[in-house]
Chains A and B, each alone.
Chain A
Amino acid sequence: MKRLLIAFFALALGFPAQAQDKLVVSIWGGSWRDLVAETVAKKFTQETGVPVEFITGGTIDRLNKAKLTKDNPESDITFTTSHVGWLYANDGLFEKLDLAKIPNAKNLADEARISPFHLGSWAYIYTIGYRADLLKGVKFESWNDLWNPALKGKLAAPDFDPSHIIVVSAILSGGDAAHWEKGQDKLKALKPNFKAFYTNDANSQQLLATGETPVQVVLSMNAYYMIGQGVPITVVIPKEGGVLGVDTVAIMKGSKKAELGYKFINALYDPVVQAEIAKLKKGSPAVLNAKLDPEIAKLPGVFTTAAQWKKQINIDAKLRAEKTAEWRKWFAENIMN
């Protein structure tokens, strides 16, 4: 009776099952989960017969959970952004990858080879997105155009990650991510143009759709989603390049299904799967051999050649992981307040 009760409570409390017949993938919820379910997971299950189960959550929630379950991870595979992946890696939460077990990884773009522990799964850019119908006569050819006084009180940028605009300001001032201080004065000069700072993709969409902030430093994929919903947004890549973002995949250290994990990652890098991802999310494939629909391939932020990847502003993910707190604090103290 006692055992029965313990089993009942264990089930009721949702203790993770130790099932060997499935691969557990940790990812953000909503469309990201659906994207992986409809593409990679489908192919992986077709190839191995092993179903994929998802656990979803925000970037920080999942990082904290992974830390708490170190060496006995809840998931076998984790998707996260490249710089957050370094926090996992630095804490010993990721398995060092054996690329020999991921033959499709040979086609990865150089910029998608983030570390020995995590690799790019797809890419996007943070760039300028604007409502041409509400900003007559304004053009964006360079990041410098954001400093146009005509844009006073019209600009929004993400509040969760100011790294894009900080590094852009540094580059425009002759610096780079490592010497970001050079751009501080330049960025302070942009302060009058900021109207708001958005909290998440939904908030960004709402601010653009209502015209509240007709120009944004915006995630390319998010802008394309809004365009699909009928919001007339123009996405441009400034001549200095967009700020490259790479979401990554890794195998959790201590996973009992690491071999299946390698097969999953190999399925992710299948050129057909990568083309599907690009089609569904309007993001860039991480590999260079994906054959994309020409309509998708021509979108700003979708890269099909090594040269296109190299033209973007690429903030070193490890440096970004180390600098995020400093950048965020400086931004809050000097720009947002």
Chain B
Amino acid sequence: MTNQPYLRTFVTPAALCALAFVVAMAAVLQYSVRAYIPGSLEPGGLTLANFTALLKPLYARVFLDTVWICFLTAFCTLIVGYPLAYALVNVRNPIAKSIVLITVVTPLFLGEVVRTYSWIIVLGNNGFINSVLLKLGVIEQPIQFMFTTFGVVIALVHVTMPVMVIMLAAALAHIDRDYQKAAESLGAGPVRAFLTVTLPLSMPGIIAGVTTAFAWTFSAFATPQLIGGGRVNMVSNLVYQLGFASFNFPFAASLCVAGLALTLVVLSALRLAARPLEKIGPH
């Protein structure tokens, strides 16, 4: 400590912030075990009824749907984001590089709500995609994108894309290009060199990106709320619908606690599953 005289100055604000988070979490926890009193803002006595109410099939289904949507979003974001990240790192032409960078980063400058409203215009029955397909005669009736899991995942992929690409690009930038050149000089074609050298070496970025995209999507609210239209629900939507919109804060708190527990379980499982892959990555 004596060697770092400014450490306390820097650590104190962080410790205070952490304390505030802990207190907030404790408040949520204590609300989750309090009874809801109809017509009152004050919660009642201690109860586990909020948690037993979560055992209904509806809630189990929403929790499972949430995990499934997070998985789909993370996977699709990886598939779409990897080529973009690869191009961002490997393209030599500065104009092309700038175009890729702008394409990737611009969504970060728009709020989630704005981006989601844009997707409503694109995905609606009279939206861009359906209008084009109808005019080209590819379809006779509009395809239902809105209020479906598919539509929600498309919009969530767009929302999550910048984070995934940035994390993948960081991992790809750290790979020594000589490895790929060495593979090619030993007779491997570009595809084989990529699959056997670059892809495994970028595994830490893939794992970090997928994990972050998963956790990022888990807390999504505006996108499933607006694109899902109440037909596709995630945990955060349930918290809003059943807790806040009806002033049942204890039940909302129990949903939050259950959601948090589920996130921890799923992320731990993801980490365990990714452990063998992590060993491939380091170089």
Q: Which residues of A contact B (CB under 8 A)?
A: 60, 63, 67, 84, 86-87, 90-91, 156, 159-161, 195-199, 203, 206-207, 210-212, 318, 321-329, 332-333, 336-337
Contact = CB atoms under 8 A, between A and B. Distances in A.
Contacts of B58: 332-333, 337
A196 B229 contact: yes
Contacts of B152: none
B229 to A, nearest CB: 3
A323 B242 contact: no
Contact of A196 (B41, B121, B147): B147
A229 to B, nearest CB: 16
B241 interface: yes
A39 to B, nearest CB: 29
B266 to A, nearest CB: 21
Contact of A206 (B38, B120, B248): B120
Contacts of A84: 247
B124 A318 contact: no
Chain B contact patch, size range: 20 to 34
14 contacts: A63-B247, A67-B41, A90-B40, A91-B40, A91-B42, A159-B230, A159-B241, A196-B147, A198-B230, A199-B226, A325-B242, A329-B242, A336-B233, A337-B62
Nearest to B241: A332
A322 to B, nearest CB: 4
User: Is the contact region of chain A dominated by helix, strand, or loop, or is it mixed?
Assistant: helix
Contacts of B147: 195-196
Contacts of A323: 38
- The 5 tightest CB contacts between A and B, nearest first, are A197-B230, A196-B229, A328-B246, A322-B39, A325-B246
B21 to A, nearest CB: 18
B238 A195 contact: no
B191 to A, nearest CB: 44
Most interface-central of A67, A87, A160, A332 (chain B CB within 10 A): A332
Given A199-B225, A212-B125, A328-B246, 18 more contacts: A87-B247, A91-B40, A91-B42, A195-B147, A206-B117, A210-B126, A210-B127, A211-B126, A321-B39, A325-B36, A325-B246, A325-B247, A327-B246, A328-B242, A332-B58, A332-B238, A333-B58, A337-B233
